[in-house]
Structure 1
């Protein structure tokens, strides 16, 4: 079986979007998805016997147990090595291999048990699923909504429908519901944080599986100054090539004997490289995720930054007045939604969408101002009939207006119910206001 046939099962995972899907990903989710696919490929590669042979091959010292039985027992029960605590040479005279010695001094050597290798494919596979999950969660919740929002926008350059007509309904919807994407923006924060959290948890779990050696795996690689064999010793402490194994058995005389032997760990030649790459990818992803979350928090608390991002990276051809009006009535959730829409629309469609949104925002503001003014002027007369009017207890007319009117007129200056509207004149005018 060739490598192409081996990895043919994951080719669909590499397709970011099909013909009918929308692009809803961000940089962190792309990284998370690619890392998940790579770890699934590591899982498949670690089971490829045609390239690296059997995972373990053992030989008993005295031949009392058949090799197949001894190999199966060592694969299931685990193996061991004895590593010198302070190593200054690659292999000492009394060592056959790194970790295989004839004379063991407890003060000089440490006993290391290896019981992980049968779980390596499952470890990589579960890691890949964990990294792929945040992307799927986000796409499942957002992809359908983006498809519905863009249903009337045509990708056909030969369409006869004017661009303004295509984007008019979408612009009206976004203008009337600026908080529509608020919950999904919170979900985006949650998905990004989930990707960061599960990456950190994975490293801690791997460190537990490998007896506290995983955290230092990559750090030791960057601190080596002398020879390559120094790092090979570090690798073989975690992934040894040759290991020892012991199997108790009952002899023909009825006594319990112990058969010892040595095993070669064929797959560790691959595991050494895969886990070094895995460590580097984990650390890179954690650093990138932290920067991504901090950047989104900065966008959340800094509206001017959202305006600049729209101005210079999304809609550079739109007039500044249009972007200012859209930004004035927008929110962080709407910014995220506009960013996703910009990736799924032609530039001229997106520019027209912002222009129509600005026009509708201005019209809506004018209508709110007129309705607010008429409501207050009509209420000045009716408020005189209120039983609290007349000196006993005076209430401002905001307390008497319906809540819908109060909300729409929140930015309009309030007047006492006993006063008429007084024009505000520039400082220094000779004419005084007449009551």
Structure 2
């Protein structure tokens, strides 16, 4: 019952809280929400002795007490013999268990030590998958929340004064206008800070992709090079229940152990033991599921990074791309001239920050903010100027004037200097 209570404690982490501001994408959430919960659930499952009994049970002769040989074999590891994985001998009934039989000095053996470390490795992996999200939360600093707070119910703003219905605060039209003006000023006066925000987000998304690859490599080392092809071997194996199951090599159910002790005369006596690895039936399921999950996570993370870099190359080259992206998140149509003004006045980091503002604001409110930002940027020759006196900031880039060309459309812009 204790394990079930722990599993129930993990379920809140699986819930997607729609009241919190969105500061990352779905692929990012798969890392720190789903994967972390999955790994912690596996760890609790492995530790649930009340359901699966002892991790190891060993059978030996009467010369060694059972609890001694079991403790010894658990800490000193067990082994199987490569020669006794011979399929013809197994199918002929000459060997009762894959990898178990008489041992010769020249025999190659496979030592199985991973089962001692599985709970610890799963817990450390869960921490590792959460670290990029923790870093991102610290670097993000709650800026999105600070800007959009109080605008969740902007679509209900019908009165001239703020209202409160229970725990819900409904802003007035005047409050919304002031909030939009405040967000606009924050965006225009802190463009370089906005870029740092976006750079950290992209860095953590790339880190997630590299981290998945690193975790696959670590698990492969942990399972002595058997993890890379584990899922493929399972999919290619169709004779379930047959003794040639490929998982028997990686997760054997019966193994051997040799215990040495001194006899009455002082000579060293060797005691062979057969050990039943009860928990390996759980281990094999865990790592097969992890193989498929990490493959899915790698593909999802790769697509997220590809989309981010595609956005970087497309946001200034295609008007339709910008309209499609902002319409997707805000469900409203944007004036093409406003889109051009914003794109010309922003770098990719600023554009990405606006995209996440759109994901966190009501459609009408963001549309008003977008129009206001576009009009303000149209008035500026130097949109990257953050000085109050209008002096040009060192290293800033001038806004593109005259005619702005896109791959899919060309629209004229009024040159203010003419």
After TM superposition, the score normalised by the length of structure 1 is 0.78
Q: Does 1:130 align with 2:128?
A: yes
Count of equivalent residues: 376
C-alpha contact 1:329 1:361 (8 A) present in aligned 2: yes
Q: Supply the distance in 2 between the matched residues of 1:230 and 1:327 (Cα, whole angstroms).
A: 63
* Partner of residue 254 from structure 1, selected from 262, 266, 269: 266
The corresponding residue for 1:310 is: 325
Q: How big is the shift at 1:92?
A: 3.9
Secondary structure at the aligned position of 2:87 is classed as: coil
Aligned CA RMSD, in angstroms, stands at: 3.1
* Partner of residue 137 from structure 2, selected from 128, 136, 139: 139
Distance 1:90 1:139, change over 3 A: farther
Q: Does 1:273 align with 2:285?
A: yes
Distance 1:290 1:69, change over 3 A: same
> Which structure 1 residue ranges, 5 or more long, are not aligned?
369-374, 376-401, 414-435
Q: Supply the distance in 2 between the matched residues of 1:7 and 1:367 (Cα, whole angstroms).
A: 52
Deviations 1:168-200 (A, max 9, x none): 111122134433321222212221222122221
The corresponding residue for 2:223 is: 210
Deviations 1:267-288 (A, max 9, x none): 1111111100111111221222
Matches within 5 A, 1:383-402: none
* Partner of residue 117 from structure 1, selected from 115, 118, 122: 115
Secondary structure at the aligned position of 1:125 is classed as: helix
Secondary structure at the aligned position of 1:181 is classed as: helix
Q: Supply the distance in 2 between the matched residues of 1:408 and 1:5 (Cα, whole angstroms).
A: 58
Secondary structure at the aligned position of 2:192 is classed as: coil
Secondary structure at the aligned position of 1:245 is classed as: strand
The corresponding residue for 2:63 is: 64
> Which structure 2 residue ranges, 5 or more long, are not aligned?
157-169, 385-389, 403-418
The corresponding residue for 2:415 is: none
Matches within 5 A, 1:13-412: 13-17=13-17, 21-33=20-32, 34-60=34-60, 62-83=61-82, 84=84, 87-88=87-88, 90-102=90-102, 110-151=108-149, 153=151, 155=153, 157=156, 158-162=170-174, 163-224=176-237, 226-229=238-241, 233-303=245-315, 304=317, 307-315=322-330, 316-365=332-381
C-alpha contact 2:150 2:171 (8 A) present in aligned 1: no
Deviations 1:227-273 (A, max 9, x none): 22469621111011111111111223222211111111111111111
Q: How big is the shift at 1:29?
A: 0.8
Distance 1:89 1:133, change over 3 A: farther
Secondary structure at the aligned position of 1:356 is classed as: helix
C-alpha contact 2:140 2:197 (8 A) present in aligned 1: yes
Q: Supply the distance in 2 between the matched residues of 1:367 and 1:78 (Cα, whole angstroms).
A: 66
After TM superposition, the score normalised by the length of structure 2 is 0.81
C-alpha contact 1:85 1:110 (8 A) present in aligned 2: no
Q: Supply the distance in 2 between the matched residues of 1:80 and 1:406 (Cα, whole angstroms).
A: 65
